Structure 1
Amino acid sequence: MAISRRKAPGTAGAADEALPSAAPVPFAMTTPVRVARIGLKARDAEMLAEYYRDVVGLREMARRGASIVLGAGDRELMEIEQFSAARPDDPRSAGLYHTAFLLPTRGDLARWSRRAIDKQLPVSGAADHKVSEAIYLTDPEGNGIEIYADRPHDQWQWNGDRVTMSPDLLDVCNLLGVIQREGGEWDGAPQNTMIGHVNLRVGNAQEAETFWHNELGFETVQTYGDRAVFMSTGRYHHHIAANAWQSTGAGKRDMDRTGLSWVELEDTRGGNDSTFVDPWGNVVNTIRTKA
């Protein structure tokens, strides 16, 4: 479907104050561990890179061998590797569910949404998650994408160590009302755009939870039944999700398919750079960095 102003009628309310024009540092960028980059394997890296430039607003930052590096501002965000012989990704297998690009402000999301409407971009969904507002797409090789903006983290509702999230309908008209106050047009992903979280397909969400707790020190912040778990550090609403919605019982990932190659995390907690592999073959690299 194409995103439409008519999908969720409403008017801008007093609670949605205009945000400052300077891009703030997202809360997700200040936590002990955060997502740095993601690697994808593609049958047509040039075509896929063009999609992420045009639709997501990333810019080409480098070429490394058979890979195209894309990012925003001065931050690398993704590396797309040419793998012509790869078979298409299987959504029933382990791998990538979606990459979630976090924009610095609600105004940025509004301007991106305005452009998406004008270009009639096909989207697969839109939601108000209470902690964030999000729009979902699928790239030409079947990789899921989320474009989102967080609500202020001091407004998130917690019940002990569990954060309240929901899949409510996104009020698109209310979101677009930000443009009336701030003005401006979408001009590509701004400085401080980052990958806020990655959602992985796994064969068993509870087994994934154990892996992320024991190997990487993440904390569970929400679960949905026994088929999805959301985890983070520093009380972010989630840096990593793992779900078995389509992939229950999946075994090891076939590395000769397109899709996820690796996830890279920045870790400020000390130690050495490391590589971890979850029970389904999803590769997680950690890069040690200063807080």
Structure 2
Amino acid sequence: MNGTPFAATTPVRIGRVGLKARHARNLAAFYADLLGFQEMDGEDGAIALGIGDRTLMEIAEDRTAEPDDPRGAGLFHTAFLLPERADLARWALFARDRNMQLEGASDHLVSEALYLSDPEGNGIEIYADRPPESWTRNEDGIAMATERLDFSSLLSTLADGDTGWQGAPENTVIGHVHLRVGDPKTAETWWHEAQGFDTMTRYGTQAVFLATGGYHHHIGANSWRSAGAGKRNPNRTGLSWLELKSRNATAEKEYADPWGTVIRVSPTR
């Protein structure tokens, strides 16, 4: 991909996420409308969605699954990274015109982001990064915060007569995945030891952000609603697995974090 976002150029990056849904077809239609994803061939009957020849999501149906527990371990949000700030501005106008129910709009210093949930309660972040050279680095890592998004500044990136949102651009990727965990310190240790990730910053004792290659974060782990959570019930809807693409991997391998979240590691091809 030309113009590949920084998040996808690092030694390890996010590949795909797998979701379990009670109504997979409805959920797939939601993401197709939300981001313009196309349906592709999935594994084991799952519905695969992506852009061009790249799958970003797979949705498997289980009508007997219990609803996800927002206070348990699992998915906090999947974060879709748009290539340019203007793309986020276009999507913001699209969301406004569709009367979408946004749940947040934040300036994180390193990025600008909009938040919502899908029909089965899975969190979604749609964001654009600021240029990496503008990120502030200090002894604690990369400076991040949660401040109010300046919509006027964001929309000023669009010229008169802009064609508007036409679906996610070709270089859209999953920039990061944010997990609910029982204890961020335990998660931090596991990601260091099992996957070789670096700690980029922390929000006190309740959240940690980790990455490879100097990105602000490929993985977030927080206990804001899930403090003390035990292992995830695999019979619930929500996150089934998370795929990492690694330059260091020579074969596919599957791990489970301390809460039973499945992490698949595949070689970068």
Fold conserved (TM > 0.5)?
A: yes
Q: Which residue of 2 aligns with 1:243?
A: 222
Q: Which residue of 2 aligns with 1:165?
A: 144
Q: Which residue of 2 aligns with 1:125?
A: 104
Contact 1:100 1:195 (8 Å CA) reproduced: yes
- Aligned pairs for 1:65-76 within 5 A: 65-76=44-55
Measured after TM superposition, the shift of residue 182 of structure 1 is 7.9
Which TM-score applies when normalising by structure 2?
0.97
Structure 2: unaligned runs, 5 residues or longer: none
Q: Which residue of 1 aligns with 2:94?
A: 115
Measured after TM superposition, the shift of residue 181 of structure 1 is 5.9
Aligned length: 269
The whole-number CA distance in structure 1 between the counterparts of 2:161 and 2:199 is 36
Contact 1:24 1:105 (8 Å CA) reproduced: no
Q: 2:234 aligns with which of 248, 251, 255?
A: 255
Q: 2:210 aligns with which of 220, 225, 231?
A: 231
The whole-number CA distance in structure 1 between the counterparts of 2:157 and 2:96 is 15
Measured after TM superposition, the shift of residue 34 of structure 1 is 0.3
Deviation by residue 1:17-55 (Cα, 9 ceiling, x = unmatched): xxxxx9721001110000000000000000000110111
Q: Which residue of 1 aligns with 2:189?
A: 210
The whole-number CA distance in structure 1 between the counterparts of 2:261 and 2:225 is 16
The whole-number CA distance in structure 2 between the counterparts of 1:109 and 1:54 is 16
Compared CA separation, residues 69 and 223, structure 1 to 2 (3 A):
same
Structure 1: unaligned runs, 5 residues or longer: 1-21
Q: Which residue of 1 aligns with 2:37?
A: 58
Compared CA separation, residues 182 and 195, structure 1 to 2 (3 A):
farther
Which amino acid is the alignment partner of residue 276 of structure 1?
A: Y
Contact 1:212 1:218 (8 Å CA) reproduced: yes
Secondary structure of residue in 2 paired with 1:229: strand
Contact 2:142 2:201 (8 Å CA) reproduced: yes
Measured after TM superposition, the shift of residue 161 of structure 1 is 5.8
Runs of 4+ off more than 4 Å? none
Which amino acid is the alignment partner of residue 208 of structure 1?
A: A
Compared CA separation, residues 275 and 161, structure 1 to 2 (3 A):
farther
Q: Which residue of 1 aligns with 2:60?
A: 81
Which TM-score applies when normalising by structure 1?
0.89
The whole-number CA distance in structure 1 between the counterparts of 2:246 and 2:187 is 19
Contact 1:73 1:193 (8 Å CA) reproduced: no
Secondary structure of residue in 2 paired with 1:165: coil
Q: Which residue of 2 aligns with 1:93?
A: 72
Q: Which residue of 2 aligns with 1:148?
A: 127
The whole-number CA distance in structure 2 between the counterparts of 1:214 and 1:64 is 30
Secondary structure of residue in 1 paired with 2:157: helix
Aligned-residue sequence identity (percent) comes to 54
Measured after TM superposition, the shift of residue 66 of structure 1 is 2.8
Q: 1:35 aligns with which of 8, 11, 14?
A: 14
Residue 46 (1) aligns with residue 25 (2): yes
Measured after TM superposition, the shift of residue 62 of structure 1 is 2.2
Deviation by residue 1:128-150 (Cα, 9 ceiling, x = unmatched): 11100000001100000000000
The whole-number CA distance in structure 1 between the counterparts of 2:202 and 2:64 is 37
